[in-house]
Structure formats: structure tokens, C-alpha cells
Amino acid sequence: MTGRFIFRKGVNTLIGENASGKTNTLFALRLLLDDTLSRNATHLRDTDFCRALANWHGHWIVISLDFEEVDPSEGCQLLKHETGHMNDSNTGTYTLYFRPKLEQRNRLYEMTNDGIEHRAIQEHLDGLTIDDYEPVFTGRARADLLGDGIYSQLVGDFENYSFPNPNDDDQELLGVRMGAIHPEITCTFAQALRDVIADLRGYRSNPLIALLRGTDATIKIDDAARITNAVTLLNKDISALPEIRAIATGVQDTLHSTVGQTYSPSVSIESALPDQLEKLLQRLSVTVGDDIGSDYRGDLAEQSLGGANLIYLALKLLEYELNLSGDKVAHFLLVEEPEAHIHTHIQKTLFERQSANRTQVIVSTHSTHISSAAKIGSVNVLAKRMDHAEVYQPAAGLGELAAGRVERYLDASRSTLLFAKGVILVEGEAELVMIPGMIRATLGLSPDEMGISVIAMNSAFFEHVAIMFHNDRIRRRCAIVTDLDMAAIDLPENLEDDDIVQRHARESQKTGERRHDSLQRFTENNSWVSGFFAQHTFEVDFLLAGNARPVEEAIDKIYTRRQDKERVREALNSEDLSVSGPQILKLANKVGKGWFALLLSESLHVNILVPKYILRAVAFAADSVTASTLKHMGLFRLGNEFFDNGLRSEFPPVTELREMDPQAFIKLYSETAPDDDLSDFIGYLNDYAQE
């Protein structure tokens, strides 16, 4: 993973799909900030290198923190002295380099300087192991190693096998060696809430021990000596019980009779209650009741997993509050996935209350409830690519007004777009119901299964959300699906001759034209957002695509009288758009567009025809679809009992097709069924891949 995170004052969120790097990000922060990690934690492993590297040998891992407001008048003497830049900016940088040791870097430079063949240098690189690496901390570094040019200059050019002299390291760029900054900061880490009962019974992981220990290296309790003396006496009393001594004697006699006295070990049975206070405190147990009014208190294991998680998190937050009371100048609270097993209402309450605290909080999550409560300017989105992850700031470059509009629109359902590989924004309920239904019926996979979120805006103000998808912000594709609202009836040349119906149709058409022009301007220089338009409205275009049959099936669920059903069917099958178009809109308005879409969705099948503008929109948003996925779609269509039998007969048997290479299958399918929806979809994907 390579990327730049921006954390602001207060609460920050790390949002991303599974395996996108949220846990790694928190661990990277802890390597620099958390003194509870073991000393060898900074000795990283070969698996910690970015998988996008063809070969990790010789490369560096660099983790760098930039601080603001490093003001010595506020008590930041160490931070200012060790990390502060030599200017008036009150900023500082603290960096961890995990890099080859000096002797290895010297050897690479010598091989470069001596003109050694590239093959020999590569062999030397391949021989490097993690034992040849070391962690180094520096302050005041100014180098931005995310740039290829500066990375090649300071680390090495791996394409041309040219490596710099480590004795000439530019300290202004790499920084000056320094020690840990823990004396001036505190870092509290609450790990993902999965099995907290085990953690509460452990020693290192038990937050109760941390609370008792406070900021001292050992626990100091006034009555410690009296308690440990009492435990020692108790051990003696238990060990001296006649029943215990009788068991010990019996065991010893059995050994003597079995192996003889010469080879028999000496055995005794003694009470082993720990007489060291820290070990005694490990036996502390939290007892809980079902609710605040309950008199019953039972073992923590009797609680639900969610209840146990809440108690664990409360202990960690108390630990953090105690840290705040110290004399440290910087405080960090890192919380990993607080939503695990916690009720959705509690998730949002927890997040909003932490927002009021006076320290820097960083929360990783894939909860839409937490993400919907987040300030969009304090969100970092992690997006997983093939072999690496990218970091996006969805509010980068946006003004306060634009960011505020985004936040107002991102409720718990719409905030799923922050986690998606692609997004389709639609106007209302009809498209929200029908687009996933049509794609699932025809291609065998829903948009969700392709990583696409279909989001209903319940308005045409798409720009308020689509503005996040940009080269400077979220680099994911966002398709906007809306209507041109072209009139389905004939309009007089002179608008003064319009009747009421015609006037309404003309006004809708003008609104559609303005919407089209506005979206074209909005997306003009942005390759991540594109508009897709129904010529008329969704319902009319669905009918015109050749889908009269599912619409007719919905008629029986709307009308009861036979003459009404026949009249409507006749109108729907009319070749005159001015007859069929208004008729389907009357059906939708009669029961409501959302309910009408639900009725239509009940009649979807593999042979329905997806309107081309919708198929294009899905292809635009689905840039992560693989050849294997397309093959799955083709096999779904060919294997479906309702698929066009005439077309299926032109293909080899499905058993043979399953063994084909995905690319060969795609080529065969597109050539054999060029007019099929899947062939169109494949063609659209190829078009967008070349843009």
C-alpha cells in the first residue's frame, strides 16, 4: 500500500472494503506512536512490503507522520527539537525507515560504481533477507518518497541498477536520527472487537491491568504488602490441610511401589495462588447484569458478545481518559472497527460522542452508520486494486459549502458508495429496484456482486454527491442515470397551441434538456463521472427496448376487469409511441412508480432486454469486472432454461464451454451472439477500458 493520509483535528475515519489496508494503517501509526508494542515490532517482515513490487529485495518501507502546531510554548519541547522543521511553520516530521543495513547499501553502491553487470547486482539483491534490514527513526525529513523520482534518488533506481552512496545521505531530505517520541505523547489502541473475553482474561491484553498500572512501569498499591503476605499464609494453610497431605502421600507411595525409591521423583501438593500483586490482579473479573436496573451480576461470559464488546471498549476509553489527565502534549486514540457486534444505534452514538473529545481520534470502519455520521473532510477512503491499495480524500479541494452538501446527502444507505468499486446514481425508486433486478436476471450477478452501489438520490441533484468522484478525490467511476424526458406524444410547432397534457410534456422535455446540458458541463473534464440518459423516462424506454411481456404480466396485478386489461394491453402493444408511451406512464402513476417497479421486477427473466443506456451505465461503473466474471455471466445465460433455444444451439455444449479459457470464451460468445445483451456489455466494457 502506498498513499498519503490526511488526518484532521478531532475524529477521523478510515473507510474501506475488507483487505483494503485499514488494519495495516492503524498498525503503521502504532509503530510510530504506541509504546505498548513489543520492541521488535519495528523489525518488519518480507510480507509487509507492497505486493505491487515485482521483487521486494532492496526496497524500503517508509512510514512518516507530519505534525502541525508543534509549539514549544505548549510543552512540545522534544517534538519541536527532534522533529520540528527549521522554519517558522511549527510543523514537524517523524519517520520510520525499514531499509537494508549500511553494509548492504554500501555494497550496492560499490557494485554500481564498479560497473558490475546488472545480472550480478540482481543476484545480490535476491540474496538479501529480512535479517539484512534495520529500522531507523529520523526527525525533520523533507523528502516525499511517494514520488518516483525522489524514491529513485534516495533508495535506488531498480530498473537501471543504480544505487546511491549511503555515506552521502542527504539528512535534510531523509532527516536526522532520533529516538522514540513516546515521552511526550500517548497512544491508546482499541483493537477490533471479536473475542474480548479472552483479552480480559489475558495479561498483556487486559485493559484492567493497564488501568491499574496507570503510567507507572509497575503497579503500586498501598496495601500490596499486606495482601501478598495474606496470600502467602493462605497458601500455607491450604497446603497443610490433612486431605491435601493425604493425597500427596498417596501419590508418593504409588510412585515408590511402581518404580522404586531409587528412580521415584519427590512429590508434594501445594497451593499455588500467586503471591505477586500483578499476577493476583490478573484474576480480577468483571461481573455484569442484563441492564442498569438488574440486581443480578454474573460472569462476563454470560453476556452477549455485543455486551462484552461494549464493556471492553468502555475500559479502553477509560484508559484513554486517564492518559489525558497526564502531562503528555499529544494524545491519540485508535479504534479498530468499533461496529463489530455492536447495535447500529450504539455505533452512531459512540462515534458522535467521541467527536466531542479534545484529542485526535482515528477510527477504522466499514459501518455505513459510522461513515454516515462522519465529517466528509475527515474521511480517508482505502480502495483495493489488483495488488495494492490507494488512499482517497473525498473532500479534497472542496469548499465548506460543497462538503456540507455531501454530508447532508450521505445517510446510512447512500454512504455505501464510499465502500464501492463503482457507483450508479439514479433519480428514484423505479431505477433503484429495476436496475439491480434486470442485471441479476440477464447477467446472473447483481451490481452488488460486481462491487457496484446503486444509490437513489430521490431528486436530480446528482452533482452534490458525484462531485466526490474526481482525480483529486475518489478515483472510482460514477455513472449518473437519469431521463431526457423527451415527449412521447406529438407537440404542436407553436407552443401556444398546446393543451394541458402537451404543455406538461413540453415543460418536462425542456427540464430534461437543461438537466442534460448541466450534467454534460459537470462531467466534461472528469473521466470518473459520466451521464447516461433515457430518451423519454425509464418506464417508456424499458417498454421500447422490447419488454412488453413483463409489463403485460403486471397488468393482471393492477386491474380486475377483463375489458380494462384488454384495453391496456392493446395500447401497450401499439406501434404508435404516442399511444404506448402515455399508457405505461398511466400504469406507473396509477399505483406509484416504486410499486410499479416492484410489480415489474417479479416478471424479470433472462430474456428481458436491458435498455442500452442502462447497460452502458453498468459497464462504465464496472471497471473491476474480470474475464472470469464475464465467463460466469455467459455460462449463466447459456445454462438458463429460459434462454433463447435457437441461440443456444449455435454454441458448443456447456460442459465444453466450462473448460475454455475466459478470454477465448468471451471472444467466442461475442462472435456467436453479437446482438446479445452480454455481447453489448462486453463491447461497452472494452470501450471504456480504452478511454
pLDDT for 253 equals: 77
Q: What is the mean pLDDT of residues 127-133?
A: 96
Grade residue 215 by pLDDT with cuts at 50, 70 and 90.
very low
Residue 77 contacts residue 92 (beta carbons within 8 Å): no
242-246, 446-450, 521-525, 536-540: segment of lowest average pLDDT: 242-246
Residue 100 contacts residue 125 (beta carbons within 8 Å): no
427: cell is 433519480
**CA angle, 51 then 54 then 56, to 5°:** 70
15 SS3 class: strand
Cα distances (Å, whole numbers) of residue 677 to 202, 443, 605, 609: 58, 8, 13, 7
Show the beta-strand stretches assigned E in 198-329. Answer: 287-288, 298-299
pLDDT for 63 equals: 96
- The secondary element (H helix, E strand) that includes residue 176 is strand 176-177
183 SS3 class: helix
DSSP-assigned letter for residue 499: -
pLDDT for 349 equals: 59
Residue 447 contacts residue 426 (beta carbons within 8 Å): no
Nearest in space to 82 (alpha carbons), one of 141, 30, 39: 141
**pLDDT value at 318 more than 60:** yes
Strands 92-100 and 133-139: antiparallel
Q: Show Cβ contacts of residue 365 under 8 Å, excluding neighbours closer than 6 positions.
A: 13, 14, 15, 22, 337, 338, 339, 371
Residue 170 contacts residue 282 (beta carbons within 8 Å): no
Report the distance separating Cα 470 and Cα 630, nearest Å.
Answer: 27
AA identity, residue 85: H
76: cell is 512540545
pTM over 0.85: no
Report the distance separating Cα 143 and Cα 162, nearest Å.
Answer: 19
Q: Under the phi-then-psi rule, with left for phi > 0, alpha for psi from -120 to 50, and beta for the rest, what region is 396?
A: beta
Q: 80-113, pLDDT tens digit by residue? A: 888 888 887 888 999 999 999 999 999 999 999 8
The torsion angles phi and psi of 530, rounded to 5 degrees, stand at: -150, 145
Q: Output helix, strand, coil percentages for the chain, rounded to the nearest 5.
A: 50, 15, 35
Higher local confidence (pLDDT), 383 or 133: 133
Nearest in space to 312 (alpha carbons), one of 201, 192, 196, 210: 196
Nearest in space to 434 (alpha carbons), one of 587, 590, 573, 615: 615
Q: Show Cβ contacts of residue 1 under 8 Å, excluding neighbours closer than 6 positions.
A: 21, 24, 25, 50, 382, 388, 389, 391
Residue 443 contacts residue 625 (beta carbons within 8 Å): no
Q: What is the mean pLDDT of residues 51-59?
A: 90
Grade residue 410 by pLDDT with cuts at 50, 70 and 90.
confident
AA identity, residue 472: D
Residue 579 contacts residue 507 (beta carbons within 8 Å): no
Instruction: Give residue for cell 526496497.
Output: 59
**DSSP secondary structure string for all residues of 336-391:** E-TTTT--HHHHHHHHHHHTTSSSEEEEEE--HHHHHHS-GGGEEEEEE-SS-EEE
Q: What is the mean pLDDT of residues 417-422?
A: 89
Report the distance separating Cα 595 and Cα 615, nearest Å.
Answer: 23
**pLDDT value at 605 more than 80:** yes
Q: 351-369, pLDDT tens digit by residue? A: 555 544 557 888 888 777 7
Q: What is the mean pLDDT of residues 553-576?
A: 91
Q: 285-314, pLDDT tens digit by residue? A: 555 555 555 554 555 454 555 556 666 666
Q: 638-687, pLDDT tens digit by residue? A: 998 888 878 888 999 988 999 999 999 999 999 999 999 999 999 999 99
> What are the structural domain ranges in the chain?
36-179, 224-279, 420-610, 626-691
Whole-number mean pLDDT of the chain?
84
Q: What is the mean pLDDT of residues 566-590?
A: 92
pLDDT for 368 equals: 75
Burial class (CB in 10 A: 0-12, 13-18, 19+), 623: middle
